[in-house]
Amino acid sequence: MARTTTAPTLQLNNGVTMPALGLGVFQSPPEETTAAVEAALRAGYRHIDTAAAYFNEREVGDAVRASGLDRSEVFLETKIWISDYGYDETLHGFEKSAGKLGVEQIDLLILHQALPSDFDRTLDAYRALETLLADGRVRAIGVSNFMVDHLTRLLDHASVVPAVNQIEQHPYFQQAEVQAFGERHGILAQAWSPIGGITFYRDSGHANALEDPVITEIASAHGKSPAQVMLRWGLQHGRSVIPKSTNPARIAENLDVFDFELSAEQLSALDGLETGKRGGPAPEDVTLETFGRDIPEA
């Protein structure tokens, strides 16, 4: 029988524990998501990261129920989309997500983006997260794609320090400054596109980190794959990582990263791959006009 791995946990700033590695379902088509999450739970994943704007929360919930695992064994993270920002709107956004997931309580609820052009609305949305936390509807709250100035403005107003900031982080785009700012304030960095942002890079003519000679050489030295090396690098930098895959073999491969360790030299060789080029959208460009989309009712 195949060996089942489970990820070690990280402690969030409010004491809640979260598996360090989870399955990301960004760009998992709804019709493939249930099978992918089921495969992940079978392989030993206990943390799934989705979002209202991925339009696959219902399928994530179906897979958790089909797994037979107790609800308390699976850490569910989802995100409120910018179109649902504002205090009342975000409270309702929670109801939509919880309804689709089919759960009473969400483990980690985060704001998907800052709205730099309407930051007051972002602050109102965050205030709603604080209410949901106080009411026990969510176990932890956080943000995503917040840069240092967004975090600074948020901390000026918030009564609860976000537990997590989920940002694009891989060897080609590391956001060390955002992570360091978070570390100083107790905000855990969580890496999306942790294996090279190739979801975006594929079509944009960027290099593919999976083929990078520095990464492939380190991978060979450990008898591991390039994806596993990048995940291990992120974990050894103290991040949570949420690789996306809908392929059962790659889902299992991505969890199998807890039996080797990168040396200090290997970590710094990977650190040296920074390009300064992000793969995803620039957080400053996110506006309701360009990125607004209706999030359906549960």
Catalytic residues, by residue number, are 54
> Which range touches ligand A2P (CB under 6 A), out of 82-90, 154-162, 232-240, 248-256?
248-256
Distance in Å, CB of 20 to ligand A2P, minimum:
15
Q: Which CB atom, from 82 or from 251, has the smaller least distance to ligand A2P?
A: 251
247 binds ligand A2P (CB under 6 A): yes
196 binds ligand A2P (CB under 6 A): yes
Distance in Å, CB of 65 to ligand A2P, minimum:
23
User: x/- binding map, residues 209-228, to ligand A2P, per CB under 6 A?
Assistant: -x--------------x-x-
Q: Which CB atom, from 175 or from 254, has the smaller least distance to ligand A2P?
A: 254
92 marked ligand binding residue: no
Q: Which CB atom, from 179 or from 246, has the smaller least distance to ligand A2P?
A: 246
Q: What is the 3-state secondary structure (H, E, C) of the chain?
A: CCCCCCCCEEECCCCCEEECECEECCCCCHHHHHHHHHHHHHHCCCEEECCHHHCCHHHHHHHHHHHCCCHHHCEEEEEECHHHCCHHHHHHHHHHHHHHHCCCCEEEEEECCCCHHHHHHHHHHHHHHHHHHHCCCEEEEEEECCCHHHHHHHHHHCCCCCCEEEEECECCECCHHHHHHHHHHCCEEEEECCCCCHHHHHHHCCCCHHHCHHHHHHHHHHCCCHHHHHHHHHHHCCCEECCECCCHHHHHHHHCCCCCCCCHHHHHHHHCCCCCCCCCCCHHHCCHHHHCCCCCCC
283 binds ligand A2P (CB under 6 A): no
Distance in Å, CB of 99 to ligand A2P, minimum:
27
171 binds ligand A2P (CB under 6 A): no
Contact residues for ligand A2P (CB under 6 A)?
24, 193-199, 210, 225, 227, 243-247, 250, 253-254
